[in-house]
Structures are given as structure tokens and as C-alpha cells.
Amino acid sequence: MFKLLKYSISIIAIFVVLVIVLLRVPSVQDGILDFAISGLINTNSPLVSEDALSAIVCGSRSPLPNPDRAETCILIKAGEKVFIVDAGDGSASNLRTFGIPYEFEAILITHLHSDHFSDLQDLHLGSWVAGRKEKLKVYGPEGIEEITKGFERAYALDAKYRYDHHGDQVLVKEANGYETITLIPNQKPFYDDGFLRITAFLVEHEPVEPSLGFRFDYKGRSIVLSGDTIYSENLISFAQDADVLFMEALSMDIIGRLQKAQEEIGNAGNAKIMFDIQDYHASPMDGAKIAKQANVKHLVYYHLAPAPVIGLMETVFTRGVSEIFSDFTMSNDGTHVVLPLNSEEILISNLK
């Protein structure tokens, strides 16, 4: 037995030494590096290939920091058409990491808080480099044109330098910039191609006015995004009978604890922020009540404030929710929701 153990250890030691020696050989190093690079260039898109309505959470957190999550962003795919709703910090990087092509019909912005549009220019540049032939369409509430014009001015020299360097083979000069459409919410869809209808509606996020939610209806399936809001009767109305409601959520319990902790260390500014944000966001319980009253089939929490970092935190975050509405999911970056056509199925997975 001892001889067998000694023999096994010797074999392992020889193998380890051999690996160390091989890793010092340039041709072996080159081969490993080439293999790693081919893996980084991910050409396998996770987007569903079949005709369906689907959503990918490309950012699940609020402005409160979390190293493993990006700020708010939801990708919606209806058939072959892809839309991005909000583009918070880190969301553009997530799209690249997930292997999602930068080929969008348009970007939709719910409201003009920076955590909902700070990555807009990254999406602009990425889609321009990817071969976009026209200006990037951006839909948003009143004031959205100030945002897009500001980005155009801020990045004018960047765009010039990139075009001068790469030329027409990479960049279509006329496609630089934004085509901005200001949405005036009413009862009618602002987008309707005969199969997909997108409707904007008002939610309550004062003093940020107007603030929007969006409803996507595609061939009998539907997804609603709440945007940032408190409990809202208008949201209930527009979410009626939806398959999935993506609902923002702020834990009053946890935020209250954070407020107290900031007060105890004498950080009055952060304590006031923790106090202030409680009056213009919905709690998880509010979201559950909205989902129940709107008769939605499944509830997905996003724009999480704060995004849970441990299981216990998630338990506290959702405490009492299942007593009101049991069919819910706490999203992560990469949460993937697929609604097959001619079905009532709701398929939920994660890209990470």
C-alpha cells in the first residue's frame, strides 16, 4: 500500500514538473493564448432563435453599488427585433460579456436619472462599430433630446478621431449620432409594426416628471416594465393580464437600516439620501400587490435597492411577498425570460 502511494505521488510530481516545463516553451504558450482568445471572441449569441417574446436583464441594481451587478437595463427581443430599455452603468459591458450583438432597433429610456442612461454612449459606439447604417434611435420622455444632444457634443471629437482612423470600411459616417423621439404618453402604442406593439405610460416618480413604464405585446404574449415608481394605479391598468411584470423594488427595511447606520457614523448626507429615496420607489410588497391586482402571471423584481449580496439579505428583501403573490423571481444580471408563442409557458434561466 505504501509503495503504491509512493508511486502515485511520484507520477503526479513528474506530471507537475512536465507541465511547468511545457508552459515555458513559447510554442506551447502561443497555443494556449490562441485557444483562450478564441474563447473570448464569443460568437454564440444567447438570444432565442425561435419566434418568441423574451427579456434579458442586462442590469439589475439601483445606483447603490454592487460589484457583481450593473445598473438598470432590460433587453427585449420580439421575433427578430431587439430593444434596450434603459442603459445604466455596466450594462453595455454585460451585453458584450453575454455575447449579445450590438444590433438594436432602438433604445428606450424610462426617465432621466443618470443610472438609466449613463451607458447610452457605449451602446451608440458599439452599435456604430458593429455596422449600424443609420443614427441610433432613442425614445424617451420630455427632456430626452437634451441628453442625446449632450452626448453628441461631449463625444464629437471622439467620433471624429475614430472615423478618421478607421474610415468607411468600419464606420458609416452618417450613422454617427442619435435620432431622438420624445414620447408623449397616451393610450395608444407609439410603435406598431403589425405584430409588435410598444406602449408608453406614466408612472409616479416625483420629482422626476415625466417618468415612463413600457408594455410590449407580441403575438399574444406580453411583458411590462415598471420603470421607477411608487405604487401606481396607472401601472396596474397597463399591466393588466400581462405574462410578466418587471417591477422595480426598494427594501424599506434594509434601506432604513442603512440610514440608521449612516446616522450612527455621522454621515448626515448619505443618511438623508437613504431617507429621501424611500418616498419615490415601490417596496417589494407594493410590487406584489400590483402584480396581484393586475392579474399578471409572473413577477420579476429588478432595479433592486439595495441588490442583495447574501441569501439572508434576499430573504429579508422578499419577506411577506409570497403571502401576496407567490410567482416571483429576484433578478440577477443575466436573468433570461422566454415566452414561447402559442403557449402559456414562462421559461426562466440565467446566462451567468
Q: What is the pLDDT of residues 178-196, one digit of tens each?
A: 999 999 998 899 999 999 9
C-alpha cell at 244: 410578466
Which tens digits make up the pLDDT trace of 222-231? 999 999 999 9
Up-side HSE of residue 337: CA atoms within 13 Å toward CB? 30
Phi, psi of 86 (to 5 degrees): 70, 150
Domain identity same for 18 and 93: no
Up-side HSE of residue 215: CA atoms within 13 Å toward CB? 27
Distance CA 195, CA 209 (A): 30
114: left (phi over 0), alpha (psi -120 to 50) or beta: alpha
Q: pLDDT at residue 2 above 80?
A: no
Domain identity same for 271 and 223: yes
Domain identity same for 28 and 169: no
Which tens digits make up the pLDDT trace of 247-298? 999 999 999 999 999 999 999 999 999 999 999 999 999 999 999 999 999 9
pLDDT at 7: 63
**Sheet of 298-305: strands edge to edge?**
191-192, 196-203, 211-218, 221-225, 244-250, 298-305, 328-330
Q: pLDDT at residue 4 above 60?
A: no
CATH of the domain at 211: 3.60.15.10
**Sheet of 347-350: strands edge to edge?**
178-182, 136-140, 106-108, 81-85, 73-78, 52-59, 335-340, 347-350
Domain identity same for 118 and 235: yes
Percentage of the chain exceeding pLDDT 70:
93
Domain identity same for 27 and 46: no
Domain identity same for 153 and 118: yes
Distance CA 309, CA 69 (A): 10
Domain identity same for 290 and 247: yes
pLDDT at 29: 75
Domain identity same for 147 and 273: yes
Distance CA 228, CA 212 (A): 8
Domain identity same for 23 and 116: no
Instruction: Give SS3 for 72.
Output: coil
According to DSSP, the residues that pair with 52 across neighbouring strands are 340
pLDDT at 12: 75
Average pLDDT, the chain: 94
pLDDT at 245: 99
Task: For residue 232, give Cα distances in angstroms to 236, 248, 252.
Answer: 6, 12, 17
Which tens digits make up the pLDDT trace of 41-88? 656 889 999 999 999 999 999 999 999 999 999 999 999 999 999 999
Spacing of C-alpha 137 from chain mean position: 18
- Give the domain extent around 11: 2-39
Phi, psi of 265 (to 5 degrees): -95, 5
pLDDT at 133: 97
Domain identity same for 33 and 85: no
Q: Nearest Cα to 107, choosing from 120, 91, 92?
A: 120
| Overall number of domains in the chain | 2
pLDDT at 25: 74
pLDDT at 39: 67
Distance CA 225, CA 270 (A): 29
Q: Which amino acid is at 261?
A: A
C-alpha cell at 288: 406584489
To 10 degrees, what angle do helices 120-129 and 144-154 make? 60
Please report the DSSP string for 170-229 in residue order.
T--GGG-SEEEEE----SS-SEE-SSEEEEEEEE--TTS-SEEEEEEEETTEEEEE--S-
pTM of the complete model: 0.91
Q: Which amino acid is at 57?
A: V
Q: pLDDT at residue 8 above 70?
A: no
198: left (phi over 0), alpha (psi -120 to 50) or beta: beta
Distance CA 200, CA 248 (A): 16
Higher-confidence residue of 31 and 317: namely 317
Query: How open is the CA angle 115-120-121, to the nearest 5 degrees?
Result: 130
pLDDT at 338: 99
pLDDT at 87: 99
Q: pLDDT at residue 174 above 70?
A: yes
Domain identity same for 10 and 103: no
Distance CA 251, CA 318 (A): 8
Q: pLDDT at residue 1 above 60?
A: no
Domain identity same for 8 and 136: no
